[in-house]
């Protein structure tokens, strides 16, 4: 799905490793096809994010960055955030937002600042 030039990818159900890799591949291709400068990955429907899923989300963000797109992960549920922290998992330097609106706002703010050397870690809190 797209909103303006931003790609929005929602994960509605837990994906196995093969499905996650397919999701990763498809999303990276969509970035080029739509020339999207921003990507939002909505994980609000997930009640579990395992270590492979967390690593895949980080990889997607890095590949998107290499293709010229900024990535924000939105909708991490409180229980999921708690478990991820307890297990030492996180999103690294990939910014997160509470919901889709906040994620779109983050990308819009960053888009206005393009051309500056502001690293993603300076966008705000990450998990």
| CATH at 83 | 3.30.750.24
Give the pair of three-digit tokens for residue 97: 């937002």
Give the pLDDT band of residue 61 (cuts 50, 70, 90): very high
- Give just the sign of the alpha carbon dihedral 32, 72, 118, 90: negative
From the list 40, 127, 120, 47, the residue with the least C-alpha distance to 89 is: 127
Whether residue 91 lies inside any domain: the answer is yes
From the list 104, 100, 103, 39, the residue with the least C-alpha distance to 66 is: 39
Domain around 79 = 2-106
Q: What is the pTM of this model?
A: 0.82
> In total, how many domains does the chain have?
1
Inform me whether the pLDDT recorded for 125 exceeds 70. Answer: no
């Amino acid at each position: 799905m797209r909103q303006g030039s931003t790609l929005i990818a929602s994960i509605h159900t837990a994906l196995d490793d093969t499905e996650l890799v397919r999701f990763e591949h498809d999303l990276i291709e969509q970035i080029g096809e739509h020339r999207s400068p921003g990507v939002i990955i909505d994980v609000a429907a997930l009640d579990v994010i395992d270590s492979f899923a967390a690593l895949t989300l980080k990889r997607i963000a890095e590949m998107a960055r290499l293709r010229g797109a900024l990535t924000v992960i939105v909708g991490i549920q409180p229980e999921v955030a708690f478990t991820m922290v307890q297990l030492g998992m996180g999103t690294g330097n990939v910014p997160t937002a509470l919901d889709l609106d906040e994620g779109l706002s983050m990308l819009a703010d960053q888009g206005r600042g393009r051309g500056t050397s502001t690293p993603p870690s300076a966008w705000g809190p990450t998990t």
